Homo-oligomer: A and B are copies of this chain.
Amino acid sequence: TDHWEVAGRRFTSRLIVGTGKYKDYAQNAAAAEASGAEIVTVAVRRVNVMDRSQPMLTDFLDPKRFTYLPNTAGCFTADDAIRTLRLAREAGGWNLVKLEVLGEARTLYPEMAETLKATEILVKDGFDVMVYCADDPIAAKRLEEAGAAAIMPLGSLIGSGLGIQNPVTLRLIIENAKVPVLVDAGVGTASDAAVAMELGCAGVLMNTAIAEAKDPIMMARAMKLAVESGRLAYRAGRMGKRRYADPSSPLAGLI
């Protein structure tokens, strides 16, 4: 059956969901459940996954059922991101991580030089690093050469909901990568997720599109189906486009 692999782990679901912006951990857990996700990503600097004296996400989302993917949201330097992930590994044993090193608060766009530097160090340090990055085919290749376990270009700005802005650069990255490519950020609604998958990527990561929907649980279900439908459409091979009409049946008929 259709699946994808990252760092030797095998997954069937191609949707990774976040753990920010929800009303509470219960709603977050219900949305993750509805999404069918096997991986949830956690901003280890903000979400409590270590302090047992406080409510913990892990009480709601069972780490035995969900793969926890610690991320470095809020880190603006390689050093900060590396320190954050080392602390997380010590506390939780997590080795598969999502690196993001941001360039500024206004756009949350990745700082690619620091991102590459952090990738190199983390890879040497034994981490399996999935990397949030610009939709820059060359920079993406450099991350792969540095040992990234997965390439995660943005579809559009984090939390913007603007959808897939540049399908051309995503296609170029996908065509050229030997590791999984996942679209990370920018999805606003179901069709955006389907578009991403139709480009041939391995998966999609999203948070705001689900958490800020009027009904997050229903949207989580929508996203599950959207990712599956886009994947199936990619595999099925879409029809060509035509400039003129083409009848569903020959113009000469029976009657």
Contacts and interface: CB of A to CB of B under 8 A. Distances in A.
A84 B190 contact: no
A208 B235 CA distance: 17
A231 to B, nearest CB: 8
B249 A47 contact: yes
A31 to B, nearest CB: 11
**Main SS of the interface on chain A?**
loop
Contacts of A237: 213-215, 219
A43 interface: yes
Interface in A228-255: 228-233, 235-251, 253-255
A155 to B, nearest CB: 11
Interface string A162-200: 100110110010001000000000001111011100100
Contacts of A156: 168
Given A109-B138, A207-B248, A223-B229, A236 B253 contact: no
A107 interface: yes
Interface stretch (A61-69, A111-119, A121-129): A111-119
Interface residues of A, number: 97
Central interface residue in A110, A159, A209, by most chain B CB within 10 Å: A159
Contacts of A172: 106-107, 109
B232 A229 contact: no
A227 to B, nearest CB: 8
A222 B229 contact: yes
A7 interface: no
Interface of A: 18-21, 43-48, 73-74, 84, 87, 103-113, 116, 134, 136-139, 141-142, 156-162, 165-166, 168-169, 172, 176, 188-191, 193-195, 198, 207-209, 211-216, 218-219, 221-226, 228-233, 235-251, 253-255
Which 7 residue pairs spanning A and B have beta carbons closest together?
A: A214-B237, A159-B246, A103-B138, A20-B248, A45-B253, A222-B232, A225-B229
